[in-house]
Structure 1
Amino acid sequence: MPPKTALLVFCQDFAHSGGKLIDCQVLNNHTASLGAVDIPRRDYLDYLSVLRGYRLPERFWVPRVLFPGG
């Protein structure tokens, strides 16, 4: 599976499971092409404060085949 496709599938499943924030650490042309945006540090810390107690459902962490036969 091409890397961008894998990331797209991950992001869709992550969002569907209630995920809110992916910290990619670096904003550059590549990460921006994948949808990354720069946010002010204060906003980032606010997001962390709100989200730090949130846990994704256990089913999110269960290994699975994303594209059977593909």
Structure 2
Amino acid sequence: MQTWKSVPTSLLQLKRKFARFRLCTLHHKLLLDAENFYVHYLSILHELVNWKRLLLIFLRFPKRSDKSDSLE
């Protein structure tokens, strides 16, 4: 609840309050954008780690020779 002291009395005070509100809103938006970027970065990093694991598993298997493919 606002008291009579917190209500801006002049146009300059009103502009300052509005500017402070806009700055806080912008700062909050930038924080949300940074958080979204960080989450996106972590998901990409997680996918790269999964691909690396799959690649290492694939490279550990011995290569099949042509002789084992033919049943002659």
Fold equivalence (TM over 0.5): no
Give the structure with the higher percent helix: 2
Q: Specify which structure has the bigger relative contact order, considering alpha-carbon pairs within 8 angstroms and separated by 6 or more residues.
A: 1
- TM-score, length of structure 1 as denominator length: 0.25
| The structure with more radius of gyration | 2
- TM-score, length of structure 2 as denominator length: 0.25
